[in-house]
Structure 1
Amino acid sequence: MVFVRQIIVSDASSFLSRAVCIATRYSAVRRQFGSKNGGPEIQVIDYKTQQSRLFPLIASAYAFRFVGEWLKWLYTDVTQRLQASDFSTLPEAHACTAGLKSLTTTATADGIEECRKLCGGHGYLCSSGLPELFAVYVPNCTYEGDNTVLLLQVAKFLMKTVSQLPSEKKQVGTTTTYFGHLEHHMKFQSDVQKAEDWLKPSAILGVFEARSVRMSVTCANNLRKFSNQEEGFSELSADLVEAAIAHCQVIIVSKFIKKLEQEIPGYGVKQQLEVLCFIYALFLLHKHQGDFLATKCITPKQAHLANEQLRYLYAKVRPNAVSLVDSFNHTDHLLGSILGRYDGNVYQKLYEEAWKDPLNDSVIIDGYHDYIRPLLKRQLQIARL
């Protein structure tokens, strides 16, 4: 199961990248509204509403790829340890693969559907490639473990981690190391004062780790109020799931940042990846803004500054959006999409695809003379009477 789940995490990036490739290319080709003085209409990708829905998905595809690479390393490391009869890292490997499988597959399934919506009515066509992509991928949310159940398993791992915090016992594993700084995270308050401060990796990791620790500690404290722990776990399951999600998001964000600390070849590539990293993190902060505010990791003003910075980052991605999805190197054959063609010749191919419909094989459709014409003829006779 651990092996299969780490494969599923890597596949999440592959499937999501295919969907965002189609949606991004089509958004660059499609023009609608806003024409001035009889000029061309505005490219759909230039609308801020389109960018705010599409660009975080591009960032997610990259984030899942990098965390998938790390998870592959973790599985290899655990396997080698098991061969040496060292089982110490197995619980962490189980929790990581379970949680990341849940998080990435849910986000990917939702992302593919969002990409279909981003393509408008054409996204619903079979020839867009998106309906089939969604149908093929969505079972990932249930096989190898239902996603909600998997998050509850992560929550159990977190509750055990929190229960061991007062002890002097050395923690085994890397993903929960930040729990060891309990006092710091419980007192943490973001020092962000302007929008640009959110471009500091330490500022991002600080709020994500503090939120995760506080949510887990709160759940652990509430669990202690129950005499029956199983009953308490069942009663607080919704909160525990949210705590597990917060921890898994820390892993993905931290691995993205860790990737950027490495040497990355190509002029300007690292800078673009940094922009995507901050888009991914700040998008999550915006999406889960309630958690960050409720745990008092940030103030309402800092949340506003994060949204302001996020809008600025979208503008930084726009000139390179098509190149960023082209870099996934998906061929037209693999995408199987009229909308996501590399050459951008969408409308001519849509017209040609429409003629392939069996209804267009003849001027008069099959069944007309047998069913429709007699019916029309009978109605005509009735009308004359």
Structure 2
Amino acid sequence: MRDAVLNGTATQVDPGEETFAALESRHGLGLYVPRGITLTRGQGAYVWDADGRRYLDCTAAYGVASLGHCHPAVVAAISHQAATLIACSGSFGNDQRAQLYAELSTVLPAGLTRVFFCNSGAEANEAALKFARLTTGRTGVVAAMRGFHGRTAGALTATWEPKYREPFEPLLPGFNYIPYNDLAALEAAVTDDVGAVILEVIQGEGGVQPGTADFLQRAQRLCSDRGALLIVDEVQSGFGRTGTFFACESVGLQPDILTMAKGIASGFPMGAVALGERVVKLSPGQHGTTFGGAPLACAAARATLRILRAEQLPAQVAARGAWFLEQLRAIPSERIRDVRGRGFMIGVELTEPAAPYIAAAQARGLLVLNAGTQVIRLLPPLILTEADLAFAIGVLTEVLCSPSI
């Protein structure tokens, strides 16, 4: 029986036809582990499946739905722009792009004055690595163990996890991986042939591991002293997720290059790279994109920035995230080894595989993610209310304390 959604209400029609899930299985590449439900609608912090069941979405579609699903201001901006001008090459000026440049400059960390728009976090990191090589003339890159920067060739090389890299090797030469937060290893790794150090302020896929201020600030000083550029990957942690507009603000970093995506446009595909004064001025043709910086994406990003600022969402996330962490740490379960993170970027590390508990939470109406084998990751929309947080705590307490899961 095939699923359908009419006027926002899930129905089933045409007995004998394949379900949405069957169609995806037949024609997709099987690159994702299926969660067993088909999502067909979203509003605010909630999504609905093809059977009409509601879930609190603490995945935010991997952190992109920063304002929740279908925020009215973003919907209005996209709808208006879609009827005005959808596509515009970077060879031509555009009103939406120009205004986004100006508005984004008011929230970027100090010293980041130029921006390149693209379509994803992986694209942003690819561009950052190219710009660093062009500037320094050096091919060496220092990255961190458990770091994740994307799955395209350069970004994949910077990603530590061997299971992602090894099937596609040889990748780019010159990359060295050091233990995260290891000052001695960092000091030894930044040699004269290193053009860039690329780090996350909080490792996302690596288990929601916060970097120490000492480690991150030392990386900045070493890059400055030894002629390398510091690339800070804020693809997952940016745009209010950790309680400040960018996570690097909380540790006093001023990166040479900052990459961003996910929450920048509330779910509309977009990425960006911000450059400081140590990065060489680029010339036409040295990099480019067909779709990056298109009016539709820029309109969505502008609406997102307006709401983030007008509603002071980063400050709300800082306060509610602290309470959320406190409540998670109070769950009386021997299965919990650690709870860590900042704002609404949280990892609950277990003493055993997380998959059964993620499935049990889903069965109770709560969607969460994993970060590796044993970490439950929470990346909820920034608009979660106290009631939403209480519901999430209740479900996680139930599943993590249940003797039968």
Bigger fraction of residues in helix: 1
TM-score bin, normalised by smaller chain: under 0.3
Bigger fraction of residues in strand: 2
TM-score under structure 2 length normalisation: 0.25
Q: Greater CA radius of gyration, 1 or 2?
A: 1
